[in-house]
Amino acid sequence: MDKIFFNKMAFYAYHGAFSEENRLGQRFFVDLELMIDLKPAAAGDDLSRTVDYGKVYETVQQEVKGKTYALVETLAERIAEQLLHAFPLEEVMVRVTKPDPPIPGHYDSVGVEIRRGRS
């Protein structure tokens, strides 16, 4: 299956299980893989046969910045649901990364990755 990808879309939002996260906010990165047959779009050089990247970004931004969730798992699920609803995708991979979570230890980041398809 062909794939459109978005790497490290950056947002400042207020998701988290701790009240400080909801009050102060933090950075979030979102990566996407959108599985779609790109051959018809490429053959006709036709945007209407693929997805508008700007609209994908807006959809993700609205979900990340428009609501607050305790879990990044929930955020990832909602992003996947919105993308599958709004665009003719076969499957979507959503990765949500928190580079600065309020947990002790040494690490680069934490996050979740989910794959969802049409049922």
Instruction: Give me the DSSP letters along the chain.
Output: --EEEEEEEEEEE---SSHHHHHH-EEEEEEEEEE---HHHHHHT-GGGS--HHHHHHHHHHHHHH---S-HHHHHHHHHHHHHHHS--SEEEEEEEESS-S--S--S-EEEEEEEE--
Q: Which of 11-15, 67-71, 75-79, 100-104 has the lowest mean pLDDT?
A: 100-104
Sign of CA dihedral 51, 52, 56, 57: positive
Among 55, 65, 67, 98, the active-site one is 98
If you search the block for the tokens 């779009």, which residue do you land on? Answer: 41
Percent pLDDT > 70 in the chain is 100
pLDDT of amino acid 1: 87
Q: Which CATH class is domain 3-117?
A: alpha beta
pLDDT band (50, 70, 90) for residue 119: confident
Query: In which element (H, E) is residue 20 found?
Result: helix 19-24
pLDDT of amino acid 115: 98
**Residue 8 among the catalytic residues:** no
Mean pLDDT of the chain: 96
pLDDT band (50, 70, 90) for residue 98: very high
Which residues have CB under 8 Å from 118's CB, separation 6+? 84, 89, 90, 91
Gap between the Cα atoms of 20 and 34, Å rounded: 33
Note the pLDDT tens digit of each residue in 1-12.
899 999 999 999
pLDDT of amino acid 86: 97
